[in-house]
């Protein structure tokens, strides 16, 4: 089953979310509206809103409530991307110019701040302190994850555990709370909310590992940026760490990574990519992603057999194999 | 009366706030704790926490509740400063190295994000949606204010109204809600909360005008940064705008500002400062600040005559004349 087929069933609700997203970032400040709308139009898979809505199906599904979770979560994700671009000196994302390269670093930073603020404004319409608490704690963890990424740039000595902790904070947590908050906002019991959190968390881990694999394996057309971008900026991902553990290639790969580091972003990643692509690390990383997907689907077993459960399972299967 | 004398009466409560501030930014991430603590130790006047506490005196004063407003507001102020430093390429603030110059832009940005997140986490302990709403809306307005400042860099054609709208968003609003939220959190009636908001708003306007005057008139020792820093970065403040309206100096001042702009931050502000210092604009700007202070004090008239009212009045008088 394709992602779009699953989404098709939610089309009208997702259109409402999309309209709300567009409306939410329209301000009385022209440049902020422009930068934010540019970001929105670059698209994305809208995984977080989709999970909010599907998780809401396990309780009392009310779109007018769920949109006040779905829209802020997508906005927070967008804001983190725009701040990430400031860091990465990224020129393109999803094949589009980044806010940072089209305008400048300062504007990208304040666009992110503005979108964070807007997200919070929307969520305060829900008079549920627990939701605010879960959200603000996740935002703090995301920042710590970003700082860990900076701290670990070009650190070839870091452990796989280090990497997993980092992507937990950077990615998995926000996906996990998308499911959890969808459940809470629709009045599900705590057990269901916990299971959905677990689904989202494991899905998020697999999703990020897949993302990191695609950065090494994909074509520029598939991933919307040159392959090897992570390595170029110093972000040492799972397949790279696993490849470094292989004695036969450790030395040559270290040499290439050091060359990239010393070139200050101008270096060529082709040789490093070739070494990694031929190594066993790709398969091992894929297996790890598959294990997380399996755990995600397992978590759903304790939930009632409604269509949303099938949809979540289908999305998880899709994510394990996606090449964009 | 000196600021420290007023603060002396609140010493034990302010010490608790100070400890909570220090605790709030201590995380399991060493670098974030370090950058945040560095910021905290640089000090500041803690005007926002002081206003929260004093406004709380008009209702049911409970420090355990008010600290959950006072600490987040000071944190939000700090986070906005650290993001402002990213923009300004500021090397020192309050005589201390900025986070940006001691570490780097990326770390400064995430330190700001982290502190924003921590502020929100603390405020969610208060199960009062109105407080969250007021706070998140103010944060959005602050971002718009920052973007307006960037948009108006070196714009010598901007109106005084433009400037006032900008400092309203950038500064006055957060001071205003410090008073308002202190009143709300302590259960004051809406009329009192509105009067305190009005006090804080007018105080904040005067405070920022005074800040902008000090940047032009103060010594490096007094203001903790080289005088003329605002102009150097392109921030055209009230006295500069007023000086530009004086026909006898308009041409020579425009020439100097253009030289500064073209020098890309390397230029000398001495000549421009001399022109402005000798102009009538200083006096006019001082009068405007005094008018805002008067409005602030007038707003207090509708409130009961408790000691906190005298303290707020004293702080307002101090702010009108401060030279640091």
Question: In terms of pLDDT, which residue wins out, A42 or A252?
Answer: A252
Of B83, B114, B136, the CB nearest to A144: B114
| ipTM, interface predicted TM-score of the complex | 0.87
Tell me the three state secondary structure of residue B97. Answer: strand
Confidence grade of residue A73 (pLDDT, cut at 50, 70, 90): very high
Identify the residue whose tokens are 């009366």: B1
B144/A27 CB distance under 8 A: yes
A26, A28, A29: best mutation site toward chain B, by most B Cβ within 10 Å? Answer: A29
CA distances, A94 to each of A220, A226, A308, A318, B186 (Å): 9, 10, 28, 19, 49
Confidence grade of residue B209 (pLDDT, cut at 50, 70, 90): very high
B113, B124, B234: best mutation site toward chain A, by most A Cβ within 10 Å? Answer: B113
Number of domains in chain A: 1
- Residue A169 in this model has a pLDDT that exceeds 90: yes
Got the DSSP string for A61-104? --HHHHHHHHHHHHHHHHHHHHHHHHHHT--EETTEE-HHHHS-
CB contact, 8 Å: B8 with chain A? no
CB contact, 8 Å: B76 with chain A? no
Q: Domain span at residue B293?
A: 3-321
Which residues from A are below 8 Å from B107, CB to CB? 147, 150
CB contact, 8 Å: A8 with chain B? no
Neighbours of B159 (CB within 10 A): 9
Which residues from A are below 8 Å from B135, CB to CB? 120
Whole-angstrom Cα distance, residue B2 to residue B271? Answer: 34
A132/B124 CB distance under 8 A: yes
Of B86, B121, B147, the CB nearest to A32: B147
Q: Which residues contact A199 (CB under 8 A, 6 or more apart)?
A: A179, A296, A297, A299, A300, A312, A316
- Residue A92 in this model has a pLDDT that exceeds 70: no
> What pLDDT sits at residue A16?
95
Q: Looking at residue B187, which CATH number applies to its domain?
A: 1.10.600.10
Identify the residue whose tokens are 């150097």: B232
> What pLDDT sits at residue A98?
66
Question: What pLDDT, in 10s, does the model give residues B29-80?
Answer: 888 888 888 888 877 889 999 999 999 999 999 999 999 999 999 999 999 9
B129/A127 CB distance under 8 A: yes
Which residues from B are below 8 Å from A125, CB to CB? 133
Gap from B46 CA to chain A (nearest CA, Å): 23
Confidence grade of residue B7 (pLDDT, cut at 50, 70, 90): confident
Question: What pLDDT, in 10s, does the model give residues A126-148?
Answer: 988 899 999 999 999 999 998 88
- Residue A222 in this model has a pLDDT that exceeds 80: yes
Lowest mean pLDDT among A263-277, B171-185, B199-213: A263-277
Which of B318, B316, B95 has the alpha carbon at shortest distance from B222?
B95
> What pLDDT sits at residue A31?
84
Which of B28, B123, B41, B81 has the alpha carbon at shortest distance from A147?
B28
Question: What pLDDT, in 10s, does the model give residues A242-274?
Answer: 999 999 999 999 999 999 988 876 778 999 999
- Residue B88 in this model has a pLDDT that exceeds 60: no
Question: What pLDDT, in 10s, does the model give residues A14-40?
Answer: 999 999 999 998 877 888 888 888 888
């Amino acid at each position: 089953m394709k992602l779009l087929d699953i989404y098709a069933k939610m089309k009208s609700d997702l259109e409402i979310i999309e309209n709300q997203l567009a409306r939410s970032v329209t301000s009385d400040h022209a440049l902020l509206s422009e930068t934010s709308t540019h970001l929105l139009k670059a698209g994305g898979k809208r995984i977080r809103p989709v999970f909010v809505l599907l998780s809401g199906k396990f309780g009392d599904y009310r779109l007018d409530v769920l949109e006040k979770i779905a829209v802020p979560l997508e906005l927070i994700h967008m804001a983190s991307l725009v701040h990430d671009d400031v860091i990465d000196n990224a020129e393109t994302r999803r094949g589009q110019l980044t806010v940072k390269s089209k305008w400048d670093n300062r504007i990208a930073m304040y666009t992110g701040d503005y979108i964070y603020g807007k997200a919070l404004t929307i969520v305060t319409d829900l008079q549920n302190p627990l939701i605010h608490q879960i959200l603000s704690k996740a935002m703090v963890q995301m920042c710590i994850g970003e700082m860990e990424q900076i701290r670990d740039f070009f650190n070839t000595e870091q452990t796989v555990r280090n990497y997993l902790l980092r992507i937990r904070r950077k990615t998995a947590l926000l996906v996990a709370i998308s499911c959890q908050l969808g459940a809470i906002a629709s009045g599900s019991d705590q057990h269901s909310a916990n299971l959905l959190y677990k689904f989202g968390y494991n899905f998020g881990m697999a999703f990020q590992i897949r993302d990191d694999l695609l950065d090494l394996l994909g074509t520029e057309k598939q991933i919307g940026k040159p392959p090897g971008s992570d390595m170029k900026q110093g972000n040492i991902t799972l397949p790279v760490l696993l490849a470094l553990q292989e004695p036969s290639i450790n030395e040559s790969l270290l040499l290439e990574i050091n060359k990239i580091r010393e070139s200050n972003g101008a270096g060529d990643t082709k040789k490093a990519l070739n070494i990694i692509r031929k190594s066993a690390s790709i398969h091992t990383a894929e297996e790890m992603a598959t294990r997380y997907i399996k755990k995600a689907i397992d978590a759903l077993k304790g939930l009632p057999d409604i269509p949303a459960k099938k949809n979540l399972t289908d999305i998880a299967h899709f994510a394990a194999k996606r090449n964009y």
